[in-house]
């Protein structure tokens, strides 16, 4: 068992998948010789060769299209999109072909592809490097969307994604890549792809979040605990499908819900969660649902990212508003 960062746990999982299954192939821009822009694939081409870990041209549409063809012929492809804002050329192939292949062929072909990409801001990069665009994938039937928030979760969920017969979008919170270390046992065990995780139990309010925002949400819960306010913190983990039962059970217990995400507010995934709670648990609510989100604007450059990304104070204020009712 080693204490590793989130990006190191991804490397561990990829190494395990390559070692265990000769059909696993990695492709992407600069993932071979350089080990990827964040070094998630460092050392893997040297260990497994350029046929198993392939550098591609700077062409995201090509990466996605190659992945579909390779997967349809029996390979298990893990493709890296260097930054989430670069994925638009690949979206045509992902939405129109990758997500539909099983249905189009009536089950004769499957598409075991994992598309890995960094998610969210916090590294003070120019535009196209800090996006939180998970809803673009969650809206497409035929895709799973997963976003781990700890090294252990990243390891287990990535192995599960690689072993799944259908395409999985695997979002990696950029800000958490090297934020903390956790003990991870490299035993090849996968985690369920469609279950939320309760990170902290509580009685007064439910906080639902995912990705890097779990960090601020847990900090807010700790601050509120000093005021004798007990928060239950749920890490959604699976963004599609959503583990609605976990959320509804928690809301039935606490009576209050605050949803926290980094993506823009308008049509964000938080709106879908709020709508489901309104439809299925309206009479459990003691106060209106609160959303703490990014703003409906382009992620600003460099130091202004901090003003865009929801902070602990905004989460605490939202919780306090739910308790005023």
User: Exactly one of 119, 129, 215, 261 is catalytic; which is it?
Assistant: 129
Contact status, residue 265 vs residue 235, Cβ threshold 8 Å: no
Mention every residue, 6+ apart, whose C-beta is less than 8 A from residue 196: 208, 234, 235, 236, 237, 238, 242, 243, 246, 247
Residue listed under structure tokens 């960062």: 5
The two structure tokens encoding residue 321:
């508003």
**What Rg value do the Cα atoms of the chain yield, rounded?**
19
How many C-beta atoms lie closer than 10 Å to residue 39's C-beta? 16
Crossing angle of helices 6-20 and 151-163, rounded to 10°: 30
253 is catalytic: no
Contact status, residue 248 vs residue 285, Cβ threshold 8 Å: no
The shares of helix, strand and coil residues in the chain, as percent rounded to the nearest 5, are 40, 20, 40
Which residues are catalytic, by number? Answer: 129
């Amino acid at each position: 068992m080693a204490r590793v960062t989130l990006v190191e746990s991804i490397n561990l999982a990829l190494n395990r998948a390559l070692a265990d299954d000769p059909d696993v192939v990695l492709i992407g821009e600069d993932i071979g010789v350089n080990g990827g822009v964040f070094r998630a694939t460092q050392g893997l081409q040297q260990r497994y060769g350029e046929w198993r870990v392939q550098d591609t041209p700077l062409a995201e549409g090509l990466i996605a299209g190659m992945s579909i063809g390779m997967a349809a012929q029996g390979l298990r492809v893990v493709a890296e999109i260097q930054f989430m804002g670069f994925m638009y050329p690949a979206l045509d192939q992902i939405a129109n072909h990758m997500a539909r292949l099983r249905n189009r062929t009536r089950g004769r072909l499957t598409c075991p592809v994992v598309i890995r990409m960094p998610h969210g801001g916090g590294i003070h990069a120019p535009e196209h490097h800090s996006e939180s665009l998970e809803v673009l994938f969650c809206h497409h039937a035929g895709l799973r969307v997963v976003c781990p928030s700890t090294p252990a979760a990243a390891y287990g969920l990535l192995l599960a994604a690689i072993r799944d017969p259908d395409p999985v979008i695997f979002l990696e919170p950029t800000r958490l890549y090297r934020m903390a270390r956790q003990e991870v046992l490299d035993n090849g065990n996968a985690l369920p792809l469609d279950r939320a995780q309760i990170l902290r139990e509580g009685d007064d309010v439910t906080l639902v979040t995912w990705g890097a925002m779990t960090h601020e949400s847990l900090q807010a819960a700790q601050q509120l605990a000093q005021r004798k306010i007990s928060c239950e913190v749920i890490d959604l983990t699976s963004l599609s499908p959503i583990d609605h039962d976990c959320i509804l059970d928690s809301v039935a217990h606490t009576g209050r819900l605050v949803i926290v995400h980094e993506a823009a507010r308008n049509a964000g995934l938080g709106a879908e969660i709020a709508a489901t709670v309104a439809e299925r648990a309206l009479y459990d609510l003691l106060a209106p649902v609160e959303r703490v989100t990014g703003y409906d604007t382009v992620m600003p450059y460099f130091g202004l990212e901090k003003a865009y990304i929801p902070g602990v104070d905004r989460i605490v204020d939202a919780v306090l508003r739910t308790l005023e009712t």
